[in-house]
Amino acid sequence: MEFYTTEQISKHIIRINPFWKDACMYYIKGSERGLLVDTGYGFGDLKSFVDKLADGQSYDVVISHGHLDHANGAGQWEKVYMSHKDIDLYHENSEYENIVQFLKNYVSDIESYPKELFQAPHDDEFIDLVDGKDFDLGDVSVKTIEAPGHTQGMMVFLIPEERIILFGDACGVFTLFVRPEATSLEEFLSTLSVLKSYENQYDRILRQHGTCESPKELLDEDIEIVHSILNGSDDHIPFEFNGIPCFVARAIDPNKNGRVDGKEGNILYIPEKIRKANR
Ligand SMILES: [Zn+2]
């Protein structure tokens, strides 16, 4: 059984879709080198698949943030870039039991698969991924933008030659502020204005869940939502995410699992994550 398939997104960007259809990855293929963005849940042999894609080309591996659905395949590579701010988060959730618990949402008989298919955690040091790093791949490049919010070490990737930005989980259809690793929404607002400053450099926004792409308005929608949460004028509708009681900022239509008004941006949050804690 083939665990992964590809989809050509642009001249240089290939989306890697796992069969369980959650948390896609990206391979950016330049004329000289390649770059793998994220390593998925750590289920199945992603490395052999990517090696084939790379077709003899050298490539680097970067992790957008430390959540298990993006980072848990990292153990297959020796040299992996990830922000040091997400290393503890990564190690909290990198074991077999965690992968099984989350993958069960997509593959109901996950426990019947051989244990060898689950990748061991990355035990080497990660190489720190910092803001403003430029991966020169030849005829295309990838620039990192630090985007704290969803996690402390969240990274966004800009591919200027293709006018594409990879938001990942940083800003999306259900941006999550329900767990301890998230910053406050107040702090997230600064991240959104940093992303706004790059707006004239991209036309397409790629993500890694659901439809995996959003119209450019997504950023303004999230900015508007954060302002409304901060001033108490959002819809503030009780919601539950993976058993965690929280609030959704814009009313959603359960039949289409999207906003009632047809826009895409939305935020799930707990009240503790609204304001920056007094330190
Ligand atoms: Zn995430």
SS3 225: helix
157 CA to middle of ligand 1, Å? 15
169 CA to middle of ligand 1, Å? 5
Q: Averaged over 165-186, what is the pLDDT?
A: 96
56 CA to middle of ligand 1, Å? 31
139 CA to middle of ligand 1, Å? 30
Nearest Cα neighbor of 157 from 28, 265, 6 is 28
Is the sign of the CA dihedral 68, 14, 212, 10 positive or negative? Answer: positive
What share of the chain has pLDDT > 90, as a percent?
A: 90
CB-count burial class (<10 Å; 0-12, 13-18, 19+) for 227: middle
185 CA to middle of ligand 1, Å? 16
66 CA to middle of ligand 1, Å? 7
The 10s digit of each residue's pLDDT in 37-95 is 999 999 999 999 999 999 999 999 999 999 999 999 999 999 999 999 999 999 998 88
The per-residue pLDDT for 279 is 47
For residues 174-209, one letter each, b for 16 or more C-beta atoms within 10 angstroms of the residue's C-beta and e for the rest, the string is bbbbbbebbbbbebbbebbeebeeeeeebebbbbbe
81 CA to middle of ligand 1, Å? 16
182 CA to middle of ligand 1, Å? 10
- Round the average pLDDT of the chain to a whole number and report it: 95
207 CA to middle of ligand 1, Å? 11
Q: What angle do CA 209, 214, 220 make, to 5 degrees?
A: 120
The per-residue pLDDT for 278 is 54
Enter the pTM of the model. 0.96
Contact by Cβ (8 Å): 38, 64: yes
